[in-house]
Structure 1
Amino acid sequence: MHRRTPVSADLSVSQSVIGRSKGESAKDRAAIQDERAESLLRTDAAAVLQYLARRVDPGDDASDLLSDSMLVVWRKRGAIPANPVEARMWFFGIARRVLLTYRRSASRQNFLVARLKANSATAPVHANKAGNVDDGGEDLRAHVRSLVGTLSDTDREIVTLVHWEGFSLEQAAVMLSMRGSTVRTRYSRARAHLKALLLASEDIAPTAL
């Protein structure tokens, strides 16, 4: 007489197989997330460090902020977009939030005030008889940076994301959680403003923008 396997035994085997499959699937997802995070950090950490270094002084603080940003990336690696461009924007977005927290820190207030005052001062640009910058452009670049520092926080962030970090206006809009049309308008206005300031600086051609 054929003996049937108890129903409870069948259920036990099925649950064991399902549990093992789920466990393997979870491990696969974790491995993919780890690999994605490692790839993102390896590819874009240097660019993020430059992004931070341009916005903090002393420069040593940029390394600390990068470490904080990388830690957040690793903790949230499950949220990293699969698309490399979107992942890069996501990484920069994290760095920007870390930077904003840094700037809000009470222990940094005196430093921030001093830097804002320094940025608001227009550095003189020395030209030779032909009207060209003597050092081949370094003074002009420093002058442009000082002028960019006079923009509003939002306009400055838009201009630097586009010209220094290489993002498009559309990508900058996503990173700043702003409408694309608003970003384009503010960028155009800020760029025209900077060009006018450059033209007023001893008739130097605004080639830096």
Structure 2
Amino acid sequence: MIRRSRDSPAVFRELYDRHAAVIYRYAARRAGDFAADDVTSETFLVAWEQLEAYDLDREDARPWLFGIATNLLRRHHRAEAKMLKTAAKAASREAMADDSDRIAAQVDATAATGRIARTLKSMAAIDRETLLLYAWADLTYEGIALAMDVPVGTVRSRLNRARRALRTQLNLEILDETENDHGRLAAAPRNA
């Protein structure tokens, strides 16, 4: 059949019809149905291209076809392993980047929380309580006035003082940090 296939593509189709199903089953067991279609068609494409190299002393073409399919499956598995390795590395880099972003955000949040806590501690107790009732208890001005038994105008003035203290203190600390960073940058040696 191989000898006749060299002269007639129709005979090669007989070879395909006779062996395609077993090649497909073999490939499907090794690589799954999705890859089996490609491996089967590629096996017969390679066989067609290498018809001249086939040893005509061999009576059965199946070992030759399975050899081609095995080589294609090896190539498929290497390509798949390389792709999975690349995907794993990319995912790892993304996870590390996500982790470093998350850690940086946590550090920033911790620093900001510390600045806010210091500012709240330095505030007059009555202003701090008013601010916390507004921010944490989510009370309206009227609700705070009822809770503290003071007029709404008093709540407004206490919140105004508390906000101003926060703004002033936080801006000063941020400016101090920026100046320290600039000082460190200016003191750092420059590479040419």
What TM-score, normalized by structure 2, do the two folds share?
0.36
What TM-score, normalized by structure 1, do the two folds share?
0.34
Higher helix share: 2
Say which one has the larger Rg. Answer: 2
